[in-house]
Every structure is written in structure tokens, then in C-alpha cells.
Structure 1
């Protein structure tokens, strides 16, 4: 049981790392200029859909990570 939650926590942490790194920042420096050209070509809705999807994935990953952490602390004691 404990090992299963440890594996889930590792998976959740990897999802968090990847989803956070793929998100565009508020300043949108070099990545914003690259994405800006893509938005002109593909339309602005696709950029917002991609960012919204990454935001949802980040929230789900964070919730899974917190729940796994709490369960592991409970199983430890």
C-alpha cells in the first residue's frame, strides 16, 4: 500500500515538473515571441486552450501530490 502511494507521488511530481516547465510565463520573453508568431498563424484560441489545459493538469497534479503526501505521512505514523 505504501509503495503504491510512493509510486503515485513520484508520478504526480513528474507531472507537476513537466506541466510547470511547459507553461508560458507572465513576462513571456523569448517563448512569448515564439508563441506570438504561432498565435498569429493558428489563431489566439489555440494558445489559450493549451495554457488552460496545462493549468488544469498542474492543478490535478498538485492535488494528487498533496493527497499522496498526506496519506504517506498517515501510513508512516
Structure 2
């Protein structure tokens, strides 16, 4: 059981890396780097299409990764 969960954890980790790399780049200029992007905080549009889908995929994979990690800790301690 431990080996199966460990294998699933590695697969999910690779999928998270791929999902993050596939997300569209957000263009930041020098003013947002210096001000911390505070001007864009309230003007942010809701992501649509591919960007929204990739954010949801990344969130779901992150939750699965967290649950698998906790399950591995529980199994290894018992």
C-alpha cells in the first residue's frame, strides 16, 4: 500500500509541475515589480477559458498531493 501511494504521489507531483508550466504567463512590467502590483489588485479580471481550467487543475492536483502526503505519513507511522 505504501509503494502504491508513493508512486501516485510522484505521478501527481510531475502532473503539478506540468500544470504549472502550462499556465499562461502573466505579463509584469517594472512598475508592478517595484510597487508589488498593488495597482492591479482590484482591476484583476476573472480568468476565463484555458487559464481558468489550468487554475482549477492545479488546485485539484495540489489537494490530491496534500492528501496523498498525509496518507503516506499515516501509513509510515503505523
Using structure 1 for the length normalisation, give the TM-score. Answer: 0.69
- Give CA deviations for 1:17-75 in whole Å, capped at 9, x if unaligned: 0010111233268xxxxxxxxxxxxxxxxx82111111111011101100010010111
| Structure 1 runs not aligned, ≥5 long | 30-46
Which is helix-richer, 1 or 2? 1
Query: Secondary structure of 1:24's match?
Result: coil
Q: Which residue of 2 aligns with 1:25?
A: 25
Residue 75 (str. 1) matches residue 78 (str. 2): no
Output the CA distance in 1 between the equivalents of 2:62 and 2:49.
20
| Structure 2 runs not aligned, ≥5 long | 30-46
Using structure 2 for the length normalisation, give the TM-score. Answer: 0.68
Output the CA distance in 1 between the equivalents of 2:53 and 2:26.
17
Runs of 4+ in 1 over 6 A off after TM superposition: none
Query: Aligned-residue CA RMSD in angstroms?
Result: 1.9
Output the CA distance in 1 between the equivalents of 2:2 and 2:21.
29
